[in-house]
């Protein structure tokens, strides 16, 4: 019998917390059942599989990131907006490493369409309107920003910048300055 109080949402949040503690790759329905001291079978009325659980964690992470991004962008434009948005990703990854990893999960087309992924793209495009980029340059810039943010954060989280000076924060600031400069001086096709 399923324990009272277990819901899809509660299991998703518990899975997200577990991901932050032990790593997203380690999250399974079995691990969650152990955490709640229930039989694995009792969780299948709430989640279909470990992949379903991971997808739900990914959707939660994308929602949380989008909410933070929207708050950070309110009233900002240009470099200020770019920096605030970039810091949302970096800060979220530091606070929630498992959830950040979950946000990178490749979603099936239906889940992707229902996710907050579109909000992320819209916010990035809102930032880029301050740089007056038209298509297809705007799409190229969206991809560039996503690649730089994720690449930097991933390298930093894996310890790639911890063995030498200058401090990673100084490099991050320089990277954001460089992105701002590139966007203000975007090359003509």
pLDDT, tens digit, 9 for 90 and up, residues 112-169:
999 999 999 999 999 999 999 999 999 999 999 999 999 999 999 999 998 889 999 9
Given a contact cutoff of 8 angstroms between Cβ atoms, the answer to whether 68 and 88 are in contact is yes
The torsion region of residue 128 among left (phi > 0), alpha (psi -120 to 50) and beta comes to alpha
Given a contact cutoff of 8 angstroms between Cβ atoms, the answer to whether 155 and 161 are in contact is yes
Between 2 and 176, where is the model more confident? Answer: 176
CA distance 24 to 93: 12
Model pLDDT for residues 22-67, shown as the tens digit of each residue: 999 999 999 998 988 888 878 888 888 899 999 999 999 999 999 9
N- to C-terminal Cα separation, the chain: 63
| Structure confidence at residue 2 as a pLDDT band (50, 70, 90) | very low
Model pLDDT for residues 58-92, shown as the tens digit of each residue: 999 999 999 999 999 999 999 999 999 999 999 99
pLDDT at 3: 53
DSSP string, the chain: -PPTT--HHHHHHHHHHHHHHH-GGG--HHHHHHHHT--HHHHTTT-SSHHHHHHHHHHHHHHHHHHHHHHHHTT--HHHHHHHHHHHHHHHHHH-HHHHHHHTSPPPHHHHHHSTHHHHHHHHHHHHHTTTPPTTHHHHHHHHHHHHHHHHHHHHHTTTTTTSSSPHHHHHHHHHHHHHHHHHTPPP-
pLDDT at 121: 92
Please determine, for residue 1, whether its predicted confidence score (pLDDT) is greater than 70: no
């Amino acid at each position: 019998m399923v324990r009272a109080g277990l819901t899809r949402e509660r299991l998703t949040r518990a899975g997200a917390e577990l991901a932050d503690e032990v790593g997203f790759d380690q999250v399974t329905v079995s691990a969650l059942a152990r955490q709640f001291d229930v039989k694995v079978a009792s969780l299948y009325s709430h989640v279909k599989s470990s992949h379903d659980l991971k997808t739900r964690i990914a959707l939660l992470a994308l929602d949380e990131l989008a909410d933070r991004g929207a708050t950070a962008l309110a009233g900002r434009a240009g470099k200020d907006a770019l920096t605030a948005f970039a810091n949302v990703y970096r800060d979220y990854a530091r606070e929630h490493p498992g959830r950040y990893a979950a946000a990178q999960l490749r979603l099936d087309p239906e889940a992707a369409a229902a996710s907050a992924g579109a909000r992320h793209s819209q916010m990035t495009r809102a930032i880029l309107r301050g740089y007056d980029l038209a298509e297809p340059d705007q799409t190229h810039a969206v991809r560039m920003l996503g690649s730089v943010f994720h690449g930097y954060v991933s390298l930093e989280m894996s310890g790639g910048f911890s063995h030498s000076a200058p401090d990673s924060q100084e490099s991050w600031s320089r990277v954001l300055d460089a992105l701002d400069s590139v966007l203000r001086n975007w090359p003509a096709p």
